[in-house]
């Protein structure tokens, strides 16, 4: 049996990871905050060392973007120091670490979609803390992958779609920002044939 540690299992991304169908030989372990507080680096190390995990997936985060401006230490504790501790623990156990990050590591004023190697230049505490987490994971553990996502939507917790649905039910007129853009395809997928069909 391969045990995979998923942090933030009560969150939007973590919750979906916990609920999805995994292969029979995969067992997901998703400790609640009370069982593993990610602001406690030594607890992270001990939990991973004792867990016999085959991999770690870390979607847990401090995600209150506006509140982070006045809770700098808390944002950095969860978004930077916890990934650093997970990198240490994963390296010690020689297991891969998948870390979830955000488009907020970028400045956000580009007129074209960001490439993965675009300059990291956050303008707020949340983005800065997530950028610090990325550096800790990328430089701290070779067997790591960073997945940046944006505009997360799920049935649980707060997200843009749920807010719009609520406002739609409450208000006759909605005023919504129109200057934010999510991911879009960089270029159309070319209709060219795949290598296999070309050779075959």
Ligand X SMILES: NC(=O)c1ccc[n+]([C@@H]2O[C@H](COP(=O)([O-])OP(=O)(O)OC[C@H]3O[C@@H](n4cnc5c(N)ncnc54)[C@H](OP(=O)(O)O)[C@@H]3O)[C@@H](O)[C@H]2O)c1
Active-site positions read: 126
10-to-68, 104, 108, 174, 175 alpha-carbon distances in Å: 20, 22, 28, 30, 31
Q: Residue 53 and residue 184: Cα distance in Å, rounded?
A: 35
How many residues touch ligand X (CB under 6 A)? 25
Closest CB to ligand X among residues 61, 125: 61
37 lies in the site for ligand X, by CB under 6 A: yes
Beta bridge pairs of residue 127: none
Closest CB to ligand X among residues 93, 131: 131
Window of 7-15, 83-91, 163-171, 174-182 that interacts with ligand X by CB under 6 A: 7-15
* Residue nearest ligand X by beta-carbon distance: 11
Interactions with ligand X, residue window 106-165 (CB under 6 A):
130, 149-152, 157, 159
Closest CB to ligand X among residues 107, 198: 107
| Binding test (CB under 6 A) with ligand X, winner from 47, 53, 62, 76 | 62
Tokens 């029979």: give the residue: 24
Which residues have C-beta within 8 Å of that of residue 186, sequence separation ≥ 6? 113
| Binding test (CB under 6 A) with ligand X, winner from 4, 5, 6, 12 | 12
The total of other beta-carbon atoms located within 10 Å of residue 141's CB is 24
Closest CB to ligand X among residues 167, 193: 167
86 lies in the site for ligand X, by CB under 6 A: no
- Tally the C-alpha atoms within 13 A of residue 148's C-alpha that lie toward its C-beta: 19
Q: Residue 27 and residue 60: Cα distance in Å, rounded?
A: 18
Q: Rounded to the nearest whole angstrom, what is the least distance from the CB of residue 30 to ligand X in the complex?
A: 9
Helix (DSSP H) and strand (DSSP E) numbers for the chain: 7, 5
Closest CB to ligand X among residues 22, 151: 151
Q: Residue 92 and residue 10: Cα distance in Å, rounded?
A: 26
| Binding test (CB under 6 A) with ligand X, winner from 5, 6, 13, 84 | 13
Contact positions vs ligand X (CB under 6 A): 8, 10-14, 33, 37-39, 59-63, 78, 100, 102, 130, 149-152, 157, 159
């Amino acid at each position: 049996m391969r045990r995979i540690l998923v942090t933030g299992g009560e969150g939007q991304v973590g919750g979906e990871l916990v609920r999805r169908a995994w292969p029979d030989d995969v067992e997901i372990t998703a400790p609640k905050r009370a069982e593993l507080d990610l602001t406690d680096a030594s607890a992270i190390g001990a939990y991973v060392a004792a867990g016999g995990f085959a991999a770690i997936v870390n979607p847990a985060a401090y995600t209150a973007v506006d509140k982070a401006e006045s809770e700098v230490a808390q944002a950095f504790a969860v978004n930077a120091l916890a990934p650093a501790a997970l990198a240490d623990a994963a390296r010690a156990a020689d297991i891969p670490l998948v870390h979830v990050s955000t488009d907020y590591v970028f400045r956000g004023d580009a007129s074209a979609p960001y490439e993965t190697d675009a300059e990291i230049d956050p303008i707020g505490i949340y983005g800065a803390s997530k950028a610090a987490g990325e550096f800790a994971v990328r430089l701290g553990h070779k067997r790591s992958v960073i997945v940046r996502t944006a505009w997360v939507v799920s049935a649980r917790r707060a997200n843009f779609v749920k807010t719009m649905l609520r406002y739609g039910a409450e208000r006759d007129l909605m005023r919504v920002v129109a200057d934010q853009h999510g991911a879009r395809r960089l270029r159309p997928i070319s209709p060219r044939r795949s290598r296999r069909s070309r050779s075959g």
